[in-house]
């Protein structure tokens, strides 16, 4: 499934800030909900996430139930500015994101644009000599 990314706004006709019900209604696909742990430890650190594992993405919600980010992995096909990002080399992905935001943050897991609330992680199962983008994420302003 192809997902057109609009940085800071949303994906396809799904907008950041929509309620769980609105998002689920637009996707109309089978999902499983789990609570992701933000790592601090109290109840407020567990936030609902809908997993559309078969389609290749997660929808992350606030504690109040509003969409704040989405993570994509195969078989989904996120597209940003006409470019399909999963599967490109890490070098290509880094150059592409740097063109959109010269201040990207590069770490051992991947590349993140805090300004655009998007980025990618390396495919940890790919050939070491030819690292590839394995997942892509996009969120509301200030999420990343």
pLDDT tens profile 64-87? 999 999 999 999 999 999 999 999
Q: Are 80 and 133 in contact (CB under 8 A)?
A: no
Supply the pLDDT for residue 43. Answer: 57
The order of strands in the sheet holding 77-80 is 14-15, 10-11, 2-6, 77-80, 83-84
Q: By C-alpha distance, which of 125, 140, 138, 132 is closest to 94?
A: 132
Question: What percent of the chain has pLDDT above 90?
Answer: 80
Q: Mean pLDDT across the stretch 117-144?
A: 90
* Residue of higher predicted confidence among 73 and 126: 73
Radius of gyration of the chain (CA): 15
47: which 2 tokens? 């936030």
DSSP state at residue 135: E
Average pLDDT in the chain:
92
> Where residue 40 falls among pLDDT bands split at 50, 70, 90?
low
Q: Mean pLDDT across the stretch 105-117?
A: 94
Helix extents (H) in 1-61: 20-27
Q: Mean pLDDT across the stretch 107-124?
A: 93
Residue position matching structure tokens 């470019």: 83
Q: Are 100 and 116 in contact (CB under 8 A)?
A: yes
> Where residue 17 falls among pLDDT bands split at 50, 70, 90?
very high
Judge residue 89's burial from the number of C-beta atoms within 10 Å of its C-beta, 0-12 exposed, 13-18 middle, 19 or more buried: middle
């Amino acid at each position: 499934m192809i997902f057109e990314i609009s940085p800071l706004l949303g994906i396809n006709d799904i907008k950041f800030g929509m309620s769980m019900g609105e998002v689920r209604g637009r996707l109309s696909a089978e999902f499983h909900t789990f609570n992701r742990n933000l790592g601090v430890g109290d109840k407020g650190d567990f936030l609902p996430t809908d997993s559309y594992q078969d389609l290749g993405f997660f929808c992350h919600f606030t504690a109040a139930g509003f969409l704040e980010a989405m993570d994509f992995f195969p078989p989904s096909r996120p597209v940003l500015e006409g470019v399909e990002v999963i599967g490109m080399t890490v070098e290509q992905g880094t150059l592409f994101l740097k063109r959109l935001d010269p201040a990207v943050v590069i770490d051992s897991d991947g590349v993140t644009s805090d300004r655009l609330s998007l980025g990618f992680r390396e495919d940890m199962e790919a050939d070491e000599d030819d690292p590839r983008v394995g997942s892509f994420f996009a969120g509301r302003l200030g999420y990343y």
